[in-house]
């Protein structure tokens, strides 16, 4: 058959069939159209301000490689004056991240952008290889640790660079996957975060000048976190990102984490890709549906009464970005959601003044309302083992009908509304700072520090004294 001609220039052979509108474009017209659309996302959402210092979360994969290339191109073309840096997280997974970090280093040299790498090892004293050696490989715990650690790592890495805005390479397919996963989990409150182009961490009281972040020495000791996250590629199809990389001959690395089967995300991904083959517009339609549904969810991020729809807040303690897969961890894996619920129950127990309650062990088989046992090492065991436990519903779990508890001390008793807090989700924005690491947290000790406590207690040789964050 005669070759199709590009619908824009009408001279060259068409090479790309655009999924969103079936337009047929030649490679040069496609590249310029793609860049114009990303620029449009950035300007219409007011993502950046002139001269802003931006960290690009760089994994070495296709999405972040394209993001870095496009941002660099647009920054020069439009004179935005952005101060771009690459920020990579080294989870410490031999055979996985070490290879992709090489790709990031090549990109750094190619684009002339400075690169900063922060490792779990330096932030937490534990690489993921060590965590897996400790907690075992087959279990569901690995991804939980990685997700909780990752959530803070980008913020801490950014803070260490004096950067208050991190951009990530999440694309439309990733967002659609996350929407589907949230729906399948019945987790509508999280729709808003997954579908917002900007998510922001609220500033802690008395913070906000950015000065506190600097001069603290080690990245693990940064006192405050108020880092904005955005996804400039969220309206770009994965197909187009890959084709952009292909036609611009960008150097990226493709791999899968060796520890993470991610079956649930994989199924959502397969569903999305099957839909795309039949009807490519489906991906964008799922994203739009996610955004519209988020608006209908009361008291949720992005929902009615939640403030600005454009900058959905990532609530510090509850924000369960994690899992990983291909999406740099902006959303929760299944075990992350369970972990989150567990921690919320701990928090609720604390609020109810029952953190020192005594539990009849035989009644606790289904893991309902684990108490904290005032930070004994049993806490750590519960944190990991309970991941496999029941899927609690934090909004409706009944008050202690399966666990007999005897409050013997009510240190932080809230006299007025003990009953009320049982039946309602905990208030989201009681933000303080983790008493150990200073990370923004709605609990006295943030999730990463709680996980670290468990790890450190179980580490025979080095004891507690590891890492900057764990204390």
Partner 1 sequence: MSSTIPLAVEFTGGLELLFSNQRKHQISVPSSDSKGAPSNVGYLVKWLCENLIKDPRKEMFVLDHSVRPGILVLINDADWELEGEDKYELQANDEIVFVSTLHGG
The residues binding partner 1 (CB under 8 A) are 1, 3-4, 13-17, 24, 27, 59-65, 100, 169, 173, 238-239, 241-243, 246-247, 252-257, 269-270, 273-274, 276-277, 324-328
Nearer to partner 1, 226 or 327 (CB): 327
SS3 449: helix
Residue 95 CB, shortest distance to partner 1, in Å, is 12
Instruction: Kindly report the number of other CB atoms within 10 A of residue 43's CB atom.
Output: 13
Residue nearer to partner 1 on the CB measure, 265 or 341: 265
- Least separation, in Å, of the C-beta of 116 and partner 1? 17
Rounded Cα distance between 55 and 68, Å, is 10
Residue 70, CA distances (Å) to 36, 188, 328, 404 in order = 10, 32, 18, 58
Distance set, CA 180 to CA 89, 147, 198, 264, 336 (Å): 27, 19, 20, 10, 16
Question: Given the complex with partner 1, which of 273 and 459 has the nearer CB atom?
Answer: 273
**What are the tokens at 192?**
């808003």
Query: Is the CA virtual torsion 264, 265, 266, 269 positive or negative?
Result: positive
Closer CB to partner 1, residue 242 or residue 444? Answer: 242
Closest distance of CB 431 from partner 1, Å:
31
In the complex with partner 1, the residue whose CB is nearer, 234 or 455, is: 234
Q: What angle do CA 201, 204, 206 make, to 5 degrees?
A: 140
Cβ at position 8, least distance to partner 1 in Å = 15
Q: At its nearest, how many Å lie between partner 1 and the CB of residue 351?
A: 38
Cβ closer to partner 1: 277 or 395? 277
Question: Residue 43 or 270: which CB sits closer to partner 1?
Answer: 270
**Minimum distance from CB of 270 to partner 1 (Å)?**
8
The C-alpha angle with vertex 91 and arms to 103 and 190, in degrees rounded to 5, equals: 105
Q: Which is nearer to partner 1, 39 or 67 (CB)?
A: 67
Q: How far is the CB of 284 from partner 1 (least distance, A)?
A: 16
For every residue of 348-365, DSSP letters joined together read HHHHTT-TT-EE-GGGGT
Minimal distance in Å, beta carbon 28 to partner 1? Answer: 12
What's the rounded Cα separation, in Å, for the pair 266 and 275? Answer: 14
Closest to 67 (Cα-Cα) out of 311, 238, 192 = 238
C-beta of 12 vs 41, nearer to partner 1: 12
| Joined tokens for residue 171 | 């694309």
In whole angstroms, the minimum distance from the beta carbon of 257 to partner 1 comes to 7
* 428, two tokens: 């989201």
Residue 280 contacts by C-beta under 8 Å, 6 or more apart in sequence?
Answer: 19, 20, 22, 237, 239
Q: Using alpha carbons, list the distances in angstroms from residue 125 to 214, 260, 441.
A: 21, 21, 20
CA separation for the pair 173, 242 (Å, rounded) = 12
């Amino acid at each position: 058959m005669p070759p199709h001609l590009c619908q824009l220039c009408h001279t060259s052979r068409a090479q790309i069939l655009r999924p969103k509108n079936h337009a047929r474009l030649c490679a040069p017209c496609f590249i310029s159209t793609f860049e114009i659309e990303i620029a449009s996302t950035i300007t219409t959402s007011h993502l950046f301000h002139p001269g802003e210092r931006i960290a690009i979360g760089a994994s070495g994969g296709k999405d972040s490689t394209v993001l870095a290339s496009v941002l660099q191109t647009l920054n020069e073309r439009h004179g935005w004056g952005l101060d771009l840096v690459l920020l990579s997280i080294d989870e410490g997974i031999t055979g996985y991240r070490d290879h992709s970090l090489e790709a990031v280093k090549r990109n750094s040299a190619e684009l002339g952008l400075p690169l900063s790498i922060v490792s779990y090892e330096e932030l937490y004293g534990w690489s993921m290889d060590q965590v897996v050696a400790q907690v075992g490989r087959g279990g569901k715990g690995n991804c939980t640790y990685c997700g909780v650690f990752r959530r803070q790592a980008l913020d801490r890495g950014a803070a260490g660079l004096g950067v208050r805005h991190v951009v990530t390479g999440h694309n439309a397919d990733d967002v659609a996957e996350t929407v589907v996963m949230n729906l399948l989990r019945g987790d509508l409150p999280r729709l808003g975060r997954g579908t917002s182009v900007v998510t922001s961490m609220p500033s802690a009281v008395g913070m906000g000048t950015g000065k506190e972040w600097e001069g603290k020495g080690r990245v693990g000791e940064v006192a405050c976190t108020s880092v904005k996250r955005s996804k400039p590629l969220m309206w770009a199809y994965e197909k187009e990102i890959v084709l952009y990389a292909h036609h611009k001959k960008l150097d990226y690395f493709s791999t899968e984490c060796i520890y993470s089967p991610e079956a649930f995300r994989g199924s959502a991904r397969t569903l999305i890709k099957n839909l795309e083959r039949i009807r490519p517009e489906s991906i964008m339609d799922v994203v739009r549906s996610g955004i519209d549904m988020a608006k209908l969810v009361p008291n949720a991020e992005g929902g009615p009464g939640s403030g600005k729809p454009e900058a959905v807040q990532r609530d510090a303690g509850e924000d369960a970005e994690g899992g990983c897969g291909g999406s740099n961890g902006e959303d929760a894996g299944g075990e992350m959601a369970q972990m989150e619920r567990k921690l919320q129950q701990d928090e609720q127990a604390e609020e109810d003044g029952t953190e020192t309650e005594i539990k009849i062990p035989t009644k606790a088989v289904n893991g309902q309302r684990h108490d904290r046992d005032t930070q004994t090492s049993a806490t750590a065991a519960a944190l990991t083992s309970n991941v496999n436990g029941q899927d609690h519903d934090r909004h409706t779990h009944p008050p202690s009908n399966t666990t007999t508890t005897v409050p013997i001390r009510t240190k932080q008793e809230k006299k007025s509304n003990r009953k009320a807090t049982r039946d309602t989700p905990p208030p989201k924005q009681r933000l303080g700072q983790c008493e150990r690491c200073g990370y923004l947290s709605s609990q006295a000790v943030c999730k990463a520090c709680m996980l670290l406590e468990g790890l450190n207690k179980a580490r025979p040789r080095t004891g507690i004294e590891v890492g900057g964050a764990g204390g």
